[in-house]
Amino acid sequence: MIRPILKYGDNPLHEPALSVEAFTSDVDRIIGDLVDTMYAAPGIGLAAPQVGIPLRIFVIDLSLGHDPNGLLVMVNPEFVEREGMQLEDEGCLSVPGFNATVARPARAIVKGWNREGQEQIIEGNGLLARCFQHEIDHLDGTLFVDRLRGLQKDLIVRKIKKLSRSGKW
Ligand SMILES: [Zn+2]
């Protein structure tokens, strides 16, 4: 089921999410909804808080569904290792219409559980490392806008507030 995607300013987007305690049918349904919603958007990643569910789950598919093995489901993810730094333009389905250059690790190893509840350890370089950091940030209540500084951040926040006031956000 495709769920509406929350936008900057909505809760629980700005609050830390809770760990998944058990692989229930509810959790499986949430994962299915995340996948459907990500592909429909379309986007290359989506975290549960973005659809209003405060649980530590995200999905990523850099192929946008074109590669049958492209889907990655991560439950209760944790960083095992992070190194290096990359500066690339980044956006977010919860901040539509805005992009900014964000500093991210060049390489990241993440440990978590897959949809079946089995442990998996996945190494990401480049775009995948960036996605790992972006999605785990979502689980901690952080959006890419929160990682910006100074004028760049003020400008985006001001524009969002203006859109909100006029009912266009
Ligand atoms: Zn995002």
Residues 20-51 have pLDDT tens digits of 999 999 999 999 999 999 999 999 999 999 99
Residue 90 forms beta bridges with which residues? 100
Centre of ligand 1 to C-alpha 8, Å, is 10
Q: What pLDDT band is residue 161 in, cutting at 50, 70 and 90?
A: very high
Tell me how far the alpha carbon of residue 134 lies from the centroid of ligand 1, in angstroms. 6
Q: How far is the CA of 118 from the centre of ligand 1 (A)?
A: 25
Spot the catalytic one: 83, 119, 123, 135: 135
Half-sphere exposure of 60 (CA within 13 A, CB side): 21
The tokens describing 107, both together, are: 């390489």
Residue 91 pLDDT grade (very low, low, confident, very high; cuts 50, 70, 90): very high
CA distances for 143 relative to 6, 68, 71, 130, angstroms: 12, 29, 22, 13
Token reading at 85: 């730094």
Q: How far apart are alpha carbons 63 and 21 in whole angstroms? A: 30
Burial (CB count within 10 angstroms: exposed 0-12, middle 13-18, buried 19+), residue 98: middle
Ligand 1: distance of its center to the CA of 142 in Å? Answer: 9
What is the Cα 99 distance to its own chain's centre? 15
**Whole-number pLDDT of residue 84:** 98
What is the tens place of the pLDDT at every residue in 47-71? Answer: 999 999 999 999 999 999 999 999 9
Could you list which residues have their CB under 5 Å from ion ligand 1? Answer: 92
Tokens coding 61: 């598919």
The string of pLDDT tens digits covering residues 105-126 is 999 999 999 999 999 999 999 9
Q: What percent of the chain has pLDDT over 90?
A: 100
Whole-number Å distance, alpha carbon 77 to ligand 1 midpoint, is: 16
Instruction: Judge whether 135 counts as a catalytic residue.
Output: yes
